[in-house]
Amino acid sequence: MKRLISAVLLWAMIFCCTACGRNAGQQASSNHDAASDESTAPSSDQGEKSKEDDIKPSETTVSAEVGKFDFEKKTVLLNSGYEMPSMGLGTYSLSDEECYDSVTALLKSGGRLIDTAYMYGNEAAVGRAVRDSGLPREEIFVITKIYPGEQFANPEKAIQDALDKLDIGYIDMMLLHHPGENDVKAYLAMEKFVENGKIHSLGLSNFYVEELKEFLPQVNITPALVQNEIHPYYQENDVIPYIQNLGIVVQGWYPFGGRGHTSELLGDSVISSIAKAHGVTSAQVILRWNLQKGVVVIPGSSNPDHIKENLDLFGFALTDEEMNRIRALNRNEKHDWY
C-alpha cells in the first residue's frame, strides 16, 4: 500500500512539473511574441528601442506584419519597427535647384518618401526642402546612401557628412549603395549610428541573392530594405521573393527603365493598353504593378505634374490577368551595370 501511495505521489509530482514546464514554456513563447510585436510597433523615437530588437539575420523572427503594404495608409512596415511610405521620389541626376523644387513639389502633393545619395550630390538640397516644407519632421522619410571606396574606408566620417549635409536631425534610412571592399565595416559603422538614434533603419542597394547570402551572416542588424533595379523588362522575379521572405522590404530603382529607356517602356503596347482600360497613364500602371508585387517605388522626376501623377496610384487596381501580362514582358534586360 505504502508503495502504491509513493507511486501515486511520484506520478502526481511528475505531472505537476511537466504541466508547469509547459505553462512556463507557453508563457515564454507568448512573451516572445509580445516582444516581437513590440519590436515592429511603429515608433518615432529610436531612443526607446531596445538593443534586443537588433537581431542577427540567422535569428530573425519575421513578424507576419513586416513587409505588408497598407493600401489605406500608403505605407509598409519595416523590420526596424518604422513605417515607410510605399511610394515617393527618386532624385538621381537632379541638380541642386531641380532637386529642391522637385522635393518641394512632392511634399506639397502629399508624397513623403525621398531617395537621395552621396553620389547624387544633392543631399543638402533635399535637407533644405524638407526643412522649408514646414511639415513635422517625423512625417517625412529620407533615404540616403554611402558609396564604396573612400566612404566605405572611413564610414563614420561618411555618415557624419550625410547627417551634416541633410541637417534634418536624423536619417530615416541609410543604405550601402553597392557591395564592395569594406562593405561589412561600413555597415557595422552604420549600426553604431542606429544605436545612438542618428539613423533609424538600415538597408542595402544592388545586393542580389549571392551577395546577400555572403553579407547577412556578418552583420548584427538585419537590413530593413534592399533597393535594386526593377522594371517590366527587368523584373527580378526570383530575387524579390527571396528578399521578402527574409522580412526585408524591396524597393525598385529605374521603375520606368531609367533615362533613355522611358519612352520604350511607357510606350509599350501591353502597358499602354492596360493604362487605357483603367483610364490612367502607363507610368501609373507600372508603379501600381510594383506596389501589387510588394515593391516600393521611387520614380525620378523634375516635373511637378509627373510627381503628382506618380503618387496617384490608389484609385484603381490591376487584375491578376493584367499582372500576368506585364510579367510576360520580362526580358531580363538590365539597364545599368550594377
Ligand X SMILES: NC(=O)c1ccc[n+]([C@@H]2O[C@H](COP(=O)([O-])OP(=O)(O)OC[C@H]3O[C@@H](n4cnc5c(N)ncnc54)[C@H](OP(=O)(O)O)[C@@H]3O)[C@@H](O)[C@H]2O)c1
Are 307 and 109 in contact by the 8 Å Cβ rule? The answer is yes
Are 200 and 225 in contact by the 8 Å Cβ rule? The answer is no
**Where in 110-169 is the site for ligand X (CB under 6 A)?**
115
**Where in 79-98 is the site for ligand X (CB under 6 A)?**
90-92
CB atoms within 10 A of CB 91: 30
Q: Does 302 bind ligand X (CB under 6 A)?
A: yes
Q: Does 298 bind ligand X (CB under 6 A)?
A: yes
Q: Does 250 bind ligand X (CB under 6 A)?
A: no
**Where in 257-276 is the site for ligand X (CB under 6 A)?**
257-259, 262, 266
Q: Out of 82, 100, 120, 233, pick the active-site residue.
A: 120
Taking the C-alpha atoms of residue 297 and residue 106, their distance in angstroms, rounded to an integer, is 14
Q: Does 306 bind ligand X (CB under 6 A)?
A: yes
Between 205 and 222, CB nearer to ligand X: 205
Q: Does 299 bind ligand X (CB under 6 A)?
A: yes
Nearest position to ligand X, beta carbon: 300
Between 184 and 266, CB nearer to ligand X: 266
Between 143 and 216, CB nearer to ligand X: 143
Specify whether 120 is catalytic: yes
Between 189 and 230, CB nearer to ligand X: 230
Q: Does 256 bind ligand X (CB under 6 A)?
A: yes
Which positions lie near ligand X, rule CB under 6 A?
Answer: 90-92, 115, 177, 205-206, 227, 253-259, 262, 266, 281, 283, 298-303, 306, 309-310, 338
Catalytic residues: 120
